[in-house]
Amino acid sequence: MFSRVTRLAGGASRMPVIKSPYFASSGIRTLTSASTSNASASPFTLNQESSFGDKKDTSIKLQPTKLRDGKKNEKVVLWKLYGTFHKHNTLASLVAVVEDLDFLEKNQHLSYNEKVLYYMQLPHHTKLHITAGQLGFRKSQRSEYEAGFQVASKMFKTIEEKNLIGPNDKIELIMTDYGKGREAFQAALIGKEGQHVKPHIVRVSDATKLRFGGPRPKKLRRL
């Protein structure tokens, strides 16, 4: 492999290129056409001398790319407040429905139907999530009225402290299941705890799944 030498025009000799995983892994440079005795005669060198003696820089120069600042041109069009009231726990989540203001400009290749689907199913981003377990309630205590009231109070207080809701923002309240925490959540919303959130609510809906037929239900949990 090392004995074969290629003769170039003008009598210059060039060693063959050696490609071996051993040389690549050990950090040893492989022999290339640039390592010849007559560098000016080799057509593979990056810097070639002209007939006048000056050097031409034929290396590739990369153009600087414009870096983005990372900020997205988005706005919140709606807030969704989810309240899940199981028989054994109470959960509350605040979700922001976000619209990309540059969506049409960046996706001109999409069809009309695909653009309509985007605006009908805008992205949802969870901002807050609070459960009764996070507030120190354990086991059967999580299903009690007090646990649901504390979850609602903590949610409303955090929204006010972080100033998440703007003066013109709208909130949709979505409730699920019929545990004891449901009444507690409503009481906190109507009371002084929810006076900052209540004026922004424009819709209240129930997302509880109704059982109709189907398989035998799971055995009732005993505490």
pLDDT in tens, 12-29: 555 454 444 444 444 444
Does the structure show a pLDDT above 90 at 218?
A: no
Q: Residue 106: CB partners within 8 Å, gap ≥ 6?
A: 100
Asked if 78 and 172 sit in the same domain, the reply is: yes
Mark whether 95 and 187 lie in a shared domain: yes
Q: What is the mean pLDDT of residues 106-119?
A: 95
- Please give the model's pTM, rounded to 2 decimal places: 0.64
- Using CA atoms, how far apart are residues 80 and 59, in angstroms rounded to an integer? 57
Q: Is the same domain home to 97 and 180?
A: yes
Predicted confidence band of residue 197 (pLDDT cuts 50, 70, 90): very high
DSSP assignments along 142-196, one per residue: GGSHHHHHHHHHHHHHHHHHHT-S-TT--EEEEEES--HHHHHHHHHHHSGGGTT
pLDDT for the residue numbered 56 = 52
pLDDT of 51 strictly over 90: no
Domain of residue 90, residue span: 74-206
Report how many domains make up the chain: 2
For residues 94 and 217, the model is more confident at 94
Cα-Cα-Cα-Cα dihedral sign, residues 35, 40, 43, 44: positive
Please enumerate in sequence order all residues whose Cβ is within 8 A of that of 31, keeping only pairs 6 or more positions apart, or say none: 15, 16, 17, 18
Assess if residue 67 is contained within a domain: no
Query: Which helix (H) or strand (E) is 141 found in, with range?
Result: none
Residue 172 lies in a domain: yes
Distance CA 16, CA 1 (A): 9
Q: Do residue 200 and residue 102 come from a single domain?
A: yes
Q: How far apart are CA 99 and CA 171, in angstroms?
A: 16
Neighbours of 178 (CB within 10 A): 13
pLDDT of residue 39: 43
Average the pLDDT over 91-109 and give the result.
Answer: 95
Does residue 184 belong to any structural domain of this protein? yes
Among 64-68, 114-118, 214-218, name the one with the lowest average pLDDT. 64-68
Same domain, residue pair 105 and 201: yes
CA atoms of 131 and 125, how far apart (whole Å): 18
- Of 98-107, 162-171, 214-223, the one with minimum mean pLDDT is 214-223
Q: 94, 138 in Cβ contact below 8 A? A: no
Of the pLDDT bands very low, low, confident and very high (cuts 50, 70, 90), residue 220 is: confident
Asked if residue 14 is part of any domain, the answer here is yes
Neighbours of 156 (CB within 10 A): 23
Q: Is the pLDDT confidence value at 48 over 80?
A: no
